[in-house]
Structure 1
Amino acid sequence: MSEAPPITQLADQAAYAAAVQLAVDAAAAYYGDGESTLDDDAYDRLVRGIEAYEAEHPEDVLPDSPTGKVAGGAVVGDVPHTVPMLSLDNVFGAEQLADWVAGLERRLGRGVESWSVEPKLDGLAVSARYRRGRLVQLVTRGDGTAGEDVSHAIGTVLGLPGRLAEPVTVEMRGEVMMTAAQFEEACAKRQGHDGTTFANPRSAAAGTLRAKDRPYVCELTFFGYGALPLDGTPDELAGRLRELPHSQIMELVAKLGVRTAAATPVPGIVATGVEAIQARVGEIAAARATLDIGIDGIVIKADSAADQAEAGFSSRAPRWAIAYKLPPVEKITTLLSVEWGVGRTGIIAPRAVLEPVELDGSTVTYATLHNPADITRRGLMLGDKVSVYKAGDVIPRVEAPVVHLRTGDEKPIVYPDKCPACGGEIDTSQERWRCVQGRACQALPSISYAVGRDQLDIEGLGDNRIVQMLAAGFITDFADLFTLTREQVLSLERMGEVSTDNLLAAIEQAKGRPLSRVFAALGVRGTGRSMSRRIARHFGTMEEIRAAGSDGVQEVEGVGPEKATLLVAELAELSDLIDKLVAAGVNMTEPGGAQRVVVTQEEGEESDRAVGPLDGMSVVVTGAMSGPLEQLSRNEVNELVERAGGKSSSGVSARTSLLVAGEKAGSKRTKAEQLGVRIVTPEEFAEMVHDLLPD
Structure 2
Amino acid sequence: MRNSLQLLIIVSVFVLMSTPAQAQCPTWSPQQMTQEIVTLKNQLEKWDIAYYQQGQSLVTDEVYDRLRNKLAGWQRCLGEPVDSQPLLPQQGTVVHPVAHTGLKKVADSQQLAKWMQGKTELWVQPKVDGVAVTLIYRHGKLVSAVSRGNGLTGQDWTEKASAIPAIPQTIPVSESQTVLQGELFLKMTGHQQSASGGQNARSIVAGAMMKREASQTLKNIGVFIWEWPGGPELMTQRLIQLTEMGFPQTESFTHRVNSLPEIERWREEWHRSELPFVTDGIVVRQPQEPEGKYWKNRPAQWAVAWKYPPVQQITEVKGVDFSLGRTGKTAVVLNLEPVRLDDKWVRRVNIGSVDRLKQWDIVMGDQVLVGLAGQGIPRIERVVWRIAHRSPIDYPETASFNELSCFQWTSACHEQFLARLLWLGGMNGLQIKGVGEETWGALVNQGMLRSLVGWLALTPDTLRSVPGISSKKAEKIYAQLQMTREQSFTRWLSALGFPSAALGRIEGLHWDDLLKRSKADWMSQSGIGEKRAAQVMDFLHHPDVSAIVDYLAKEQVAAFSK
Please classify the TM superposition score into its range, dividing by the shorter chain length.
0.3 to 0.5
How does the TM-score come out when normalised to structure 1? 0.41
How does the TM-score come out when normalised to structure 2? 0.48
Higher radius of gyration, 1 or 2: 2
Structure with the greater relative contact order (CA < 8 A, sep ≥ 6): 1 or 2? 2
